[in-house]
Amino acid sequence: MFRPRVIPCLLLRNNGLVKSVKFKDYTYVGDPLNAVKIFNEKKADELVFLDITATKEKRCINLNLVKNIGEECNMPFAVGGGISSVEQIRELLKAGAEKVCINSYAYHDLNFIKKASDEFGSSTIVVSIDVKKNIFGKQQVYINAGTKSTGANPVDYAQQVAEKGAGEIIINSVDCDGAMTGYDTALIKKVADAVDVPVVALGGAGSLNDLKKAVTEGNASAVAAGSLFVFHGSRRAVLINFPTQKELVTLFE
């Protein structure tokens, strides 16, 4: 069995790292550059940094912070938060990011995905899709940090962004976020089976076995997690951690 990428997903708020539960109840977990140093030592495959207040505040993720991350980071990393122009993408890539994650603006302007992928190559453009059940239990795409329903079906929307040139899709379950009870593998599988680009599972991982299930049951190409890599024990003590390469190879054998 192939060894999928395993990616810590780190949330930024006021230039600090936080972790959420269902996109609420934020806990401060430390300094992003300190986390990068630890993940360097642990040899993480990639990192994702998402500024969760950038869209609401009508700005892009902090460019200086991205530069600082780029100077420190030994692995490829992606950044997202408030990206809405080709020029912003250009500056973020110059600052050291390998990929950019686009969320809310992709929904507002699907053609922006095409413009961006034409300009920088589809492998650079990641679309992050936040999915949550509405009051009737129907899964829909949400934007603006999970606060606004679009009414869009996540599978249909994933197909649209893939057709426009997204090179990778992150599927994030808001309902599973921070719960550490496992991914929504049914959702991941529906999306992964419907598109021909890599799908990254996010939201809910609480154990290494959850990572494996996202791949074997959800057909994910890669797995991302937040709480699993920043908390330790039932009291959720903050401890930046990452499995060893040997543990990952054994896990996915």
Catalytically active residues are 130
Taking the C-alpha atoms of residue 54 and residue 83, their distance in angstroms, rounded to an integer, is: 8
Secondary structure (DSSP) of 123-183: GGEEEEEEEEE-TTS-EEEEETTTTEE----HHHHHHHHHHTT-SEEEEEETTTTTT-S--
DSSP, collapsed to helix, strand or coil, labels residue 59 as coil
The contacts of residue 177 (CB under 8 Å, 6+ apart) are: 20, 21, 22, 23, 203, 204, 226
Pair 30, 238: CB distance under 8 Å:
yes
Q: Which residues of 105-142 are buried (b: 16+ CB within 10 A; e: fewer)?
A: bbbeebebbbbbbeebebebbbbbbbbbeeeeeebbbb
Q: Tokens 């360097």 map to which residue? A: 40
DSSP state of 52: T
Maximal CA-CA distance, the chain: 47
Taking the C-alpha atoms of residue 54 and residue 66, their distance in angstroms, rounded to an integer, is: 14
DSSP, collapsed to helix, strand or coil, labels residue 204 as coil
Helix (H) / strand (E) containing 11 = strand 5-13
